[in-house]
Structure 1
Amino acid sequence: MRYMATYDLMESLRNTNQWMGATAKAMASYPAMAALPNPMLTWMGAWGEVAERSFERMTVKPSWGIRSITCNDGKDHLVQIETMMEKDFGNLIHFNVTEREEKRRKVLLVAPMSGHYATLLRSTVISLIPDAEVYVTDWKNARDIPVSAGKFDVEDYTLYLVDFMRALGPDTNVIAVCQPAPLTLAATAYLAEREPDAQPRTLTLIGGPINPDASPTEVTDFGNRVTMGQLEEAMIQRVGFNYKGVGRLVYPGLLQLTSFMAMNAERHSKAFNEQILRVSRGEARDHDAHNRFYDEYLAVMDMPAEFYLSTVERIFKNCEVAKNTFVVDGSRVDIGRITDVAVKTVEGAKDDISAPGQCVAALELCTGLPDSKKASHLEPGAGHYGIFAGKSWRNNIRPLVLDFIDANADTPRKATKANAA
């Protein structure tokens, strides 16, 4: 599988399906066809419209689409996305609300690198902007990163987070969503031991696999079922000639999307069939619920092969973070060194990706943290997506997270050698 020809073949299949959709749509809308009223032509045009849009979205990075926000003064303020730190594999960006006094809360939202762009957290960002200065880790598509940039694995990811936290300062409140939760916990412990004055104020871990064995799911079962050799042979490809990262070993986003779709194939099939019917009846809209969801869901990015493989091996198979044996840059990171960063975990009762029990395990690892600085929340009836972007997040979880941040905003830090001097 590790050949550019395989990558290009997969991209060719996607491109062909997009072309077939565009062709069907064009043929059905040809003026002469109006003289031959036939339901099949209407259905063909509807299928073509849905197919073209769906396959096209798979290679397009979505826009954040956050142009303005209504603030407490009742006025709409423009939002400018500023790059605070630029690195080879990801940037630190800031959603700067113009002509607004700087908010006391400073939030670093750590986006997952799991096949989707950081824009998957768009609704999360929108919900936080009115009440905080929001910063986001904006990971780059590996196919666009030249081979000369080198490798990027879980240790590099952790060190990126360390750099971002260090740059934002000790009053930062970090929120890690799903995949980055264990690495964000490790990054915080890394700072606690080496640069305690650079630690964040609070750390909120949402639906992350801190201990994947605590509550097995289809995701963890897959990780334990296959060997690393099988995984590398079946999942890793070299970027094709169309992209700047030509020759780079990656786990293609299209393969990840296939896995996502297969997990709920019946539901996705029903959603697309219903959308085709809506288009044929003239009931669909450019930004209806289906298109809003799938424009984001289908937009996938490639992951560096070494990051994907090291995540499976070290986080899921070996459970290095769960066993507190994770090593960064040759040194073990001891989670127990976190002593004054308030930690909160959030889980969804119906999360089928990071099931309840996996994330709350972080609190047991924080042996040096007093119970007064630990908190957890289990959201009834919420699935994986709902705990950070759905109704459960907006109505229940977001207020709890903000209250947690405020409750620890003025708590004193333990004296360190640096600030004691």
Structure 2
Amino acid sequence: MRYMATYDLMEAMRNTNQWLGATARTMASYPIFSAIPNPALQWAAAWGEVTERTFERMVVKPDWGIRTFTCEDGKDHLVDIRTVVEKDFGDLIHFDVTGREEQPRKILLVAPMSGHYATLLRSTVKSLIVNSEVYITDWHNARDIPVSAGKFDVEDYTLYLADFMKFLGPDVHVIAVCQPAPLTLAATAYLAEIEPEAQPCTLTLIGGPINPDAVPTDVTDFGARVTMGQLEETMIQRVGFKFKGVGRMVYPGLLQLASFMSMNADRHGKAFQDQIMRVSRGEASDHDAHNRFYDEYLAVMDMPAEFYLSTVERIFKKCEIAKNEFVVNGHRVDIGKITDVAVKTVEGDKDDITAPGQCIAALDLCTGLPDVMKASHVEPGAGHYGIFAGKSWRNNIRPLVLDFIDANCDRKNRRKTDSNIVNLN
């Protein structure tokens, strides 16, 4: 499957389905048919509208949609989304609320590189921007990155995170969501040894596979069952001719989307059937619940092949993070060297992707941290998405995370003050 023609064929199929939807919608909505009301035509127009939108969204990067924010002064302030660090495979962006005093709490959100754009964390950003300066990793679609930019694997990802942390300084609070949790832990340990003064103040790991073998799930079973050769042959393709990254080996977003949806095929199928009926009855809208969710869910990006394959092999199969055997740029990272960064883990009781038990394993690896600087939380009834978005995040998890951040920031400041007093004496 590792041919440009295969990649282009997949894009042609997507484009054809989008065209079929547009054609059905246009023909069934032709004005002359309004003189002869026909439920079949209404259904065909609805099918076309939903189909066109569905396949169109697969190649569009969603907008952040965060344009203004109401501050304590009661006024709406513009939100300037600025790129503060620009790199080939991902940028660091800042949500700068213009006209507002700089907030003392500085947060770095590490977004997953797992098929969806960083905009998947839009609601998380909105909830944190209230009283924090929020930064986030904005990973690029691999199909738009020229081959001349080189490779990008788990080690490069870890070094990117280390660079972002160094740029933001030691007063930053890092929150890693899902896939990047083990690599963010490794980046923190890497800094603890190489540049200890650049370590973040706190580290919160949300639903990440620190030890995938701790509690098996369908995801970990798949990783253990399939060989690396099989993955490379069936999942990896070369970017086609119409994109900047022509020739780059990637795990295509469309294949990832097929995998995502196959895990809950019945639920997704029913969701689209129901949406078609709502559209035919005139009950749907451009920003209804279905469109809000699927406009984001269907927008997928290609991952660099080396990143995908090294993640499966080193994080899931060999469990290098869980065994504290991870190597970055020739340097063996020792997670036990983290001694001055408070670490908290968050898990969902009903998480079927990263089951509870996989993320909390990070605390056992932090052998150099006193217990007072470790914390964990399991959210009752919350699934994977719920632990960083939705009611569970807003009402329960977010307050706990911010309390953890503030408590350990104060503790660190007190330690610095005490140290300065000792030095003066």
Report TM bin, short chain.
over 0.9
Distance 1:69 1:35 in 2: 47
Equivalent residues in 2 for 1:30-69 (5 A)? Answer: 30-69=30-69
Q: In the alignment, is residue 383 of structure 1 matched against residue 383 of structure 2?
A: yes
Counterpart of 1:268 in structure 2 is: 268
- Tell me the CA shift for residue 35 of structure 1: 2.6
The answer to whether the Cα contact below 8 Å between 1:106 and 1:171 also exists between their aligned partners in 2 is yes
Equivalent residues in 2 for 1:200-349 (5 A)? Answer: 200-349=200-349
Secondary structure of 2:92's counterpart equals strand
Counterpart of 1:9 in structure 2 is: 9
Secondary structure of 1:412's counterpart equals helix
Counterpart of 2:194 in structure 1 is: 194
The aligned length equals 418
Distance 1:7 1:184 in 2: 32
- Tell me the CA shift for residue 410 of structure 1: 2.2
Amino acid corresponding to residue 364 of structure 1 in structure 2:
D
- Tell me the CA shift for residue 372 of structure 1: 0.3
Deviations 1:367-414 (A, max 9, x none): 000000000000000000000011100000000000000001122377
Secondary structure of 2:64's counterpart equals coil
Deviations 1:248-291 (A, max 9, x none): 00000000000000001111011101100100000000000000
Distance 1:73 1:288 in 2: 31
Counterpart of 1:409 in structure 2 is: 409
- Tell me the CA shift for residue 72 of structure 1: 2.2
Counterpart of 2:101 in structure 1 is: 101
Deviations 1:320-377 (A, max 9, x none): 0000000000110000000010000000000000000000000000000000000000
Deviations 1:88-107 (A, max 9, x none): 00000000000000001000
- Tell me the CA shift for residue 69 of structure 1: 0.9
Instruction: In structure 1, list runs of 5 or more residues that go unmatched.
Output: none
Counterpart of 1:181 in structure 2 is: 181
Instruction: In structure 2, list runs of 5 or more residues that go unmatched.
Output: none
Distance 2:82 2:276 in 1: 39
Deviations 1:274-311 (A, max 9, x none): 10010000000000000000000000000000000000
Secondary structure of 1:74's counterpart equals coil
The answer to whether the Cα contact below 8 Å between 1:324 and 1:333 also exists between their aligned partners in 2 is yes
Counterpart of 1:163 in structure 2 is: 163
Deviations 1:166-201 (A, max 9, x none): 000000000000000000000000000111100000
Distance 2:141 2:280 in 1: 35
Counterpart of 1:392 in structure 2 is: 392
Distance 1:27 1:367 in 2: 66
Distance 1:56 1:211 in 2: 37
Deviations 1:38-66 (A, max 9, x none): 11100000000000001000000000010
Distance 2:344 2:70 in 1: 29
Equivalent residues in 2 for 1:56-135 (5 A)? Answer: 56-135=56-135
Q: In the alignment, is residue 28 of structure 1 matched against residue 28 of structure 2?
A: yes
Alpha-carbon RMSD across the aligned residues, in angstroms, is 1.2
Counterpart of 2:356 in structure 1 is: 356
- Tell me the CA shift for residue 4 of structure 1: 0.3
The answer to whether the Cα contact below 8 Å between 1:82 and 1:93 also exists between their aligned partners in 2 is yes
Amino acid corresponding to residue 172 of structure 1 in structure 2:
V
The answer to whether the Cα contact below 8 Å between 1:348 and 1:355 also exists between their aligned partners in 2 is yes
TM-score, normalized by length of structure 1?
0.98
Deviations 1:185-236 (A, max 9, x none): 0000000011110000000000000000001100000000000000000000
Counterpart of 1:141 in structure 2 is: 141
Report percent identity of matched pairs.
81
- Tell me the CA shift for residue 36 of structure 1: 2.7
Distance 2:357 2:365 in 1: 13
Secondary structure of 2:246's counterpart equals coil
Distance 2:230 2:248 in 1: 19
Distance 2:75 2:356 in 1: 41
Distance 2:126 2:402 in 1: 14
TM-score, normalized by length of structure 2?
0.97
The answer to whether the Cα contact below 8 Å between 1:343 and 1:375 also exists between their aligned partners in 2 is yes
Amino acid corresponding to residue 340 of structure 2 in structure 1:
D
Secondary structure of 1:108's counterpart equals strand
Distance 1:29 1:385 in 2: 37
The answer to whether the Cα contact below 8 Å between 1:72 and 1:130 also exists between their aligned partners in 2 is no
- Tell me the CA shift for residue 73 of structure 1: 2.3
Distance 1:41 1:269 in 2: 21
Secondary structure of 1:316's counterpart equals helix
Distance 2:65 2:342 in 1: 32
Distance 1:244 1:232 in 2: 22
Deviations 1:124-171 (A, max 9, x none): 000000110000000000000000000000000000000000000000
- Tell me the CA shift for residue 114 of structure 1: 0.1
Deviations 1:8-57 (A, max 9, x none): 01111100100000000000111122233211100000000000001000
Distance 2:320 2:70 in 1: 44
Amino acid corresponding to residue 96 of structure 2 in structure 1:
N
